[in-house]
Chains A and B, each alone.
Chain A
């Protein structure tokens, strides 16, 4: 009971701090941008965690869906004149439909083969964006305007924040639903899952589509925030970073994905002033976490809590990815 109270208290405080954030930083466009980037990467990382952490499907092409989201939003908004409230979900739907095309054959692949197939996707999207000049503008990119009501950064900050809260809530519910339990069953043993009546290929496809939808949406939000779309953003490096975010934050944990996104987006703020240090710090963080906390940073909280509660001499219990969901479900 105390644990539930603690979590609610923490979430409420976090939401309050985020809502008050623009005023804490004097409405600084840069600091708001920093939080917005964290929020956008958090959506993408949570979506990837649903696929990789919960479902056990390793995708190294998630940056491709982010880029698809940016271009879909840009083309729908500038070429077809779609309003933002239609362009954003449409970007998600387009990403989901493309993931269906990739997902149908890819779900029959496993482990390394699936990773290579998604890697190919992540590599090809920037090339397509660069060469499909009539639609994407090629190397010149696409400028994008926010609607009049969201033209100032403060208003759009709140739009992105609200959508991030909404997506987090939806993804948490998916993770704790029958769907989420099926994903975990598939991750642990496809044969056992199939034996209990789970349509493995079907669930994997749905997993891919949900993940791509929210990643595409995140890409759309990014496009509207930056107001410029180019084939240089969200290259294959973005896919690697997303993967690193969920590994460092914690696989099969929504909070882990958020923590990873905040950490990896926040590190450059402190390290950018020192030449070439950012990637070094990020690389070091990944290595240290994999070595010492393979269950991710999110497991640190539980580690300390257990140490506090444990009578001396008792062996600590290691956190298993996916435990988060079980605990939350039982609460």
Chain B
């Protein structure tokens, strides 16, 4: 007792610190409602890099935030406001694991939306499957989150890597009629799986030969060595899987050594943005073929696009419209539609509401479909070409059937 009296300041400090850590979040959920749903709000979690070398993906969060604001200003969902709780995982799986526990166990979010980074999503998959938290429109094109279907994983906000690789190789073989192909890829969790899928897809075309393979890092600023190796391979077409900056560097390096003859194709992540003309130079980037899952804001009179331009432009006036913000917005549109279709908002009822999406066209995406055997969600994309400072669509929607593996349209 004497000890406590004498050291009361220390005891008070220690007790305050303990209380600070021990304090449970001050949410007052209804007892009957599922986690994260109160009379007034629905809490949604999101994890992605907000800082660091890949902070560009934070625009996905901005897109979600902007759409939530739009919905809230128009009455919310089922009389409740949407609230986004997002943390910066810095693209580090270790942090993602820790922050997932924070969102699910402490913040008690109802669902997670558009979580970025393939390895980060791999690291948390076991925890998420165990907790049963709805994982919606994961921002990874990796097949493992959607095929075979996982009960609480619904859709990806990006085109599936395998699907995209098959669409681009099909375009090379059938439309461009190229015979000699070089695959160039960013050696990381984004570029490598796409390159593997493309090499596999090229085997389907007997008269098309893979004549070379080069790789690079996302931070590489000089790709002249890779350009020389490509020239030695003498290709008709170059298929690049890369984020924007190295894609621009590679095309610039090819241009500088006079290699502008072969067709240059880039995956949507590295080619579906008009900022590419600034990065590579207008003359250099012209003629680049890419793929896209979302139409450009200035090329569509879709109602959803109009709302996006107005709201996102108001919320983030300094951020480019034709960028990742669209992905976040579109993913949030799918979430809100599923919430509206769910009757009780219990996790089971909410997840089964996705099965009623049959080529739903109410969002910015060309079409969204789910079923018991199809958790891809996004099964349509189109081919684009860089022309005079704009990315313009040059094909009709190409659709992938996850059950049969068939690709149709275009």
Chain A interface (Cβ within 8 Å of chain B)?
Answer: 9-10, 13, 17, 21, 24-26, 28-31, 33-34, 37, 127, 130-131, 138-141, 143, 222, 226-228, 230, 232-233, 235, 237, 268, 272-273, 275-276, 278-279
Please give, as numbers and ranges, the residues of chain B lying within 8 Å of A28 by CB-CB distance. Answer: 105-106
Other 8 A-B pairs with CB < 8 A, given A17-B14, A275-B86: A33-B101, A131-B187, A228-B97, A230-B119, A232-B91, A233-B94, A235-B92, A275-B58
CB distance from A225 to the nearest CB of B (A): 9
CA distance A12 to B293 in the complex (A): 60
CB within 8 Å for A30 and B105 given contacts A24-B22, A25-B21, A139-B189: yes
Interface residues of B in 82-136 (CB under 8 A from A): 85-88, 90-95, 97-99, 101-102, 105-106, 117-120, 122-123, 126
Q: Which residues of B contact A127 (CB under 8 A)?
A: 217
Contact between chains at A233 and B93 (CB < 8 Å): yes
With both chains docked as a complex, state the minimum distance between the C-beta of B150 and any C-beta of chain A, in angstroms: 16
**With a CB–CB cut-off of 8 A, which chain B residues contact A228?**
93-94, 97, 119, 122-123
Please report the C-alpha to C-alpha distance between residue A222 and residue B94 in the assembled complex, in whole angstroms: 8
Does B403 have its Cβ within 8 Å of any Cβ on chain A? Answer: no
Selected contact of A272 from candidates B87, B92, B187, CB within 8 Å: B87
Residue on A with the closest CB to B186?
A139
What separation, in Å, do the CA atoms of A212 and B118 have in the docked complex? Answer: 30
Judging by beta carbons under 8 Å apart, are B21 and A232 in contact? no
A33 partner, pick from B90, B98, B217, beta carbons under 8 A: B98
CA–CA, A131 to B186, complex, Å?
Answer: 12
15 residue pairs bridging A and B, Cβ less than 8 Å apart: A17-B18, A24-B21, A24-B22, A25-B22, A127-B217, A130-B188, A139-B119, A143-B126, A222-B94, A226-B97, A226-B123, A228-B97, A232-B92, A272-B87, A276-B50
The CA of A273 and the CA of B102, in the complex, are separated in Å by: 11
- Please classify the interface of chain B as helix (H, G, I), strand (E, B), loop, or mixed, using the class held by over half of its residues: helix
Q: Of residues 342 to 375 in B, which have CB atoms within 8 Å of A's CB atoms? A: none
Identify the closest chain B residue to A138 (Cβ).
B192
Contacts between chains A and B (CB distance < 8 A), count: 102
The answer, yes or no, to whether B5 is at the interface (CB within 8 Å) is: no
Answer whether residue B75 sits at the interface, using C-beta atoms and an 8 A cutoff: no
- Listed residue (A29, A143, A222, A268) with the most chain B CB atoms within 10 angstroms of its CB: A29
Tell me whether B51 and A139 are in contact (CB under 8 A).
Answer: no
Inter-chain contacts of B99 with A (CB < 8 A): 272
**A273 near B51: Cβ-Cβ < 8 Å:** no
Please indicate the chain B residues that have their CB under 8 angstroms from the CB of A29 in the complex.
101, 105
Contacts of B187 in A (CB 8 A): 130-131, 139
Task: Give complex CA distance A34, B189 in Å.
Answer: 27
CA distance A130 to B186 in the complex (A): 12
A278 to B50, CA, bound (A): 10
**Contact, CB under 8 Å: A230 / B51:** no
Contact B92 A233 (CB under 8 A): yes
Report whether A34 and B93 are in contact in the complex, using a CB–CB cutoff of 8 Å: no
Q: Which residues of A contact B51 (CB under 8 A)?
A: 276, 278-279
Chain A residues with Cβ below 8 Å from B7 are: 9
Q: Is B10 close to A, CB under 8 A?
A: yes
Assess the B21–A139 pair: CB atoms within 8 A: no
Identity of the chain B residue whose Cβ is nearest the Cβ of A141 in the assembled complex: B119
* Closest chain B CB from A236 CB (angstroms): 11
* B105 & A139 in contact (Cβ 8 Å cutoff): no
Could you tell me the distance between the alpha carbons of A2 and B97 in the complex, rounded to whole angstroms?
A: 44
Report the Cα distance A273→B86, complex, angstroms. 7
Q: Please measure, in the bound complex, the distance between the C-alpha atom of A199 and the C-alpha atom of B264, giving whole angstroms.
A: 61
Lowest 5 CB-CB distances: which A-B pairs, in order? A139-B189, A228-B123, A30-B101, A233-B94, A24-B22
- Kindly list chain B residues whose C-beta atoms are within 8 Å of the C-beta of A222: 94
CB distance from B220 to the nearest CB of A (A): 12
Q: Does B258 contact A (CB under 8 A)?
A: no
